[in-house]
A and B are shown apart, each in its own frame.
Chain A
């Protein structure tokens, strides 16, 4: 990576913007759409929209059954999509299970692997910054099995404190961590934690909902047992996600949802189950979603994940600088202040203006940000924030978007007489 990448590649960013039809549509107030909520869901490039459109127009048919031409094409394209996602994270296609989203992928592990492997006295280790989707399933699993929950603490800048990691890992059967914090953007030190967790004998699950869209993921190098992510946050459609799981673990796990397509032979009294990965894909899958997600992965590959990271890092650096100008007027920035430590997410509050009021005023200028607890209520409680405003960046954001955010905040300051 060269340092020039970190000075914002505006020319390439402008070409990227042109790939996203929604960004060319002004808001109802005639403002340019400034979309800074990609941590909630990303926009979709024409390539993804076209791939979904093509499936429905040209070869819509169910998969794994029909022998006619369009059914063969649907099956081949659906399974090719799986291979593309496998390559995207450096896995074997048999280790790629389609789910609705990262949440469903985590629930699959909690119900299937968790219920079969956890006992009273076992511990599950999470961090204090987890999204509810990587907390609630484990709370329920702990209730069902008698296992206990532990948490790696975070410091006041949103970085994990690893001082007591060895003690936390004792008798720990499962470690489930975010790749990137959706609230603060913190990139978790997985390269430090995962090997120690594996040495301690724990199975490791990574919630990659905020990781896979932004950082190059290599599950083989990461050596996590499970990696869960959602399509819609990485330029793909909603309703499709991926659970990567190590083959031996997936083979040994009982099915989660049951029904059609996941079976080998069904008798009235008993059933034998299909091979991986179909064992975990009951019912007709989101075929268009998988095809759309594969188009998104190809689009990201063509952009180059290293460029994506460098672009977001440069933009984050610029945003930290511009938002820093407002600190004397009461802007409080949360999370790590180092663009190297953040993946395109900035959380903040501005003087006594509530985050929802900020979001409403920014909306009048076409600027879309998120306000609230970001599905991390325990973290908010710990930090003492009732709500924060969150701006998040992706491939189609430019410095002009950051400027629009700062101008909108200046407007909010005028309205609130700060």
Chain B
């Protein structure tokens, strides 16, 4: 991985995650663990008229998995579950994927995988393996 990978905005999202916590009555949710390292992410979605009106994530793990999930939650309001199910991996890799090593790609894509799992109601494929 590159020396300069841990840019300020990644550290900021790691230390001050956005939309972190739980919804009282989520309409869709999922959680998963990266078996390689034990990183955990849960995603909860609230829908209004079929579109995401609120989102929360929770979890524990490295700066990459947590910052990636945090940034992801900032970009999905207003989307339908169908749209979320079709999100390309670039949606997270644009933020955190630059210079990342292959073994840590799962850290970057864990949040997206969990989000897609919530959208389709079952565990989704790894975005980097699609």
Contact = CB atoms under 8 A, between A and B. Distances in A.
Q: Do A and B come from one complex?
A: yes
Contacts of A353: 63
Nearest to A411: B3
Contacts of B107: 356
Interface in A343-392: 352-357, 360-361, 363-364, 371-373, 377, 380, 386-387
Contact of B37 (A364, A372, A416): A372
Interface size class of A (residues with CB under 8 A): 20 to 34
Contact of B1 (A360, A372, A387): A360
A371 B107 CA distance: 13
B33 to A, nearest CB: 11
Given A372-B38, A373-B38, A356 B62 contact: yes
For A352, A354, A372, A416, the residue with the greatest tally of chain B CB atoms inside 10 Å of its CB is A354
A352 B5 CA distance: 17
A373 B37 CA distance: 7
A415 interface: yes
A417 interface: yes
Contacts of B39: 356
A357 B60 contact: no
B22 interface: no
Interface residues of B, number: 20
B62 A416 contact: no
Contacts of B15: 352
A357 B62 contact: yes
B48 interface: no
Interface string A60-81: 0000000000000000000000
A372 B103 CA distance: 13
Nearest to A29: B3
Nearest to A358: B62
Contacts of A380: 38
A373 B34 CA distance: 12
B63 to A, nearest CB: 5
Contact of B5 (A360, A372, A386, A417): A360
B6 A371 contact: no
Contacts of B37: 356, 371-373, 387
Interface string A313-352: 0000000000000000000000000000000000000001
Given A356-B62, A417-B11, A361 B6 contact: yes
B48 to A, nearest CB: 34
A387 B6 contact: no
B75 interface: no
Interface of A: 352-357, 360-361, 363-364, 371-373, 377, 380, 386-387, 415-417
28 contacts: A353-B63, A355-B62, A356-B39, A356-B61, A356-B104, A357-B63, A360-B5, A360-B101, A360-B104, A361-B6, A363-B1, A363-B101, A364-B1, A364-B3, A371-B37, A372-B36, A372-B37, A372-B38, A373-B37, A377-B38, A380-B38, A386-B38, A386-B40, A387-B37, A387-B38, A415-B6, A416-B11, A417-B11
Given A357-B6, A360-B5, A364-B2, 17 more contacts: A354-B62, A354-B63, A355-B62, A356-B61, A356-B104, A356-B107, A357-B62, A357-B64, A360-B101, A363-B1, A380-B38, A386-B38, A386-B40, A386-B60, A386-B61, A387-B37, A417-B11
